[in-house]
Amino acid sequence: MRIGQNPEKSNVELSTNVLHRIVIPVYIPNLDEDYFKDGLDILKLCIESLLNAIHNKTRISIINNGSCVEVSSYLEELYEQRIEIDQLLNSKINLGKVNALYSVIKSCLEPIITVTDSDVMFLPNWQSACETILNDFPEAGMVSPVPSSLGYANAFINSTVYYAFFKEKIKFSKVVYPEGLLNFQKSIGRVMYNDYHLQNYLTVSNKKNKAVIGCGHFVATFRAEVFENSPKQICKEKIVGGSENRYLDFPNDHGGYLRLATMDNYAYHLGNVKEDWMFRVLKDNADKPKPEPLKKISKGKPLKKHQYFMGKVLHRLCLVKFKKQFFKYKGLSKEAAQEY
């Protein structure tokens, strides 16, 4: 039996005054195995650094993706205590990284969405740096606060290449913080960068700003419209297997949006082993002032489909087949172009 009218039926329009949604999937099944033994400490570093560095128009969604009791208890406590964390989704099974992300992404009302792994330490001003690039480059759909000299080698920058060649300036610029590149390669346990990568990266600039071409996806800030181009079917892989390419990278690039990174480094990838320096950085940044939110974010201006395909051709020719010649033309020495 039903008595009366549901009052929400007279208030049917959804709206939010929040600008930025941050989505964090967490999978720490135990604290006993060597790979996961520091998992809770790393997660705490991630969350605390994030809470220290976000503006008041931000909300956080955490997906507990089949984590152990200790981690689940920590997340429940956070949810109860911190107003910034307004969504905690609990699953007793591992849904896979992409499905966990999309359980929130597809219901977001916010115009900006950051997706991040749970082993990232956020530094002051990361948020304003990413939001400013989205605002200054209306064509941009994906921005990382962690630049990489190898961003140009990413397969999903075809729209970015077209924009850089035909609309604005593409050139090599001096790496602002080489230590950030070294810290990242240490965190993943393999050598990525040579001496030339530590000196310059490929950038694009317009009248308002400059950004590094390409980025990774362990932490990235997106326009919400990017995900209108995402696959309709459920992801079948838990992790890797091309899942992040199909559900994060391809929708941005094929949708006509640029893939960029900030010039300076605003986050660290921590990996799965805690180190003393991480706690020192967290303490040093704890009392830094929080950023002011943008009053509004510029509307996205994706490129046309034919421009994406032209960018694909340019990408293949200039950044793959004739890369050495192109890099020399853009100012690198013969030796640097050979080794870059």
Give 326-332's long-range contacts (Cβ < 8 A, gap of 24+). 327/172, 330/170, 330/171, 330/172, 330/202, 331/171, 331/172, 332/172, 332/196, 332/200
Handedness of CA 160, 161, 164, 170 (dihedral sign): positive
Coil vs helix vs strand at 128 = helix
The maximal CA–CA distance of the chain, rounded, in angstroms, is 81
Cα-based angle 326, 252, 216 (whole degrees, multiple of 5): 65
Give residue limits of the domains in the chain. Answer: 16-339
Count Cβ atoms below 10 Å from residue 5 Cβ, excluding itself.
8
Residue 8's region, left for phi above 0, alpha for psi from -120 to 50, else beta, is alpha
Which pLDDT tens digits describe the chain residue by residue (340 residues)? Answer: 777 676 666 666 666 889 999 999 999 999 999 999 999 999 999 999 999 999 999 999 999 999 999 999 999 999 999 999 999 999 999 999 999 999 999 999 999 999 999 999 999 999 999 999 999 999 999 999 999 999 999 999 999 999 999 987 899 999 999 999 999 998 988 899 999 999 999 999 999 999 999 999 999 999 999 999 999 898 888 777 789 999 999 999 999 999 999 999 999 999 999 999 999 999 999 999 998 998 888 889 999 999 999 999 999 999 999 999 999 999 999 999 999 9
Cα-based angle 313, 315, 321 (whole degrees, multiple of 5): 90
What is the pTM for the complete model shown?
0.94
User: Could you say which architecture CATH assigns to the domain 16-339?
Assistant: Alpha-Beta Complex (3.90)
For residue 127, what pLDDT is reported? Answer: 97
User: Alpha-carbon distance 330 to 82, whole Å?
Assistant: 49
Side-chain half-sphere CA neighbours of 158 within 13 A? 22
Residue 114 C-alpha from the chain's centroid: 6
145 and 266 Cβ atoms separated by less than 8 Å: yes
The first and second tokens of residue 128, run together, are 């304003």
For residue 12, what pLDDT is reported? Answer: 60
For residue 298, what pLDDT is reported? Answer: 86
Residue 3 C-alpha from the chain's centroid: 48
Amino acid letter for position 165: F
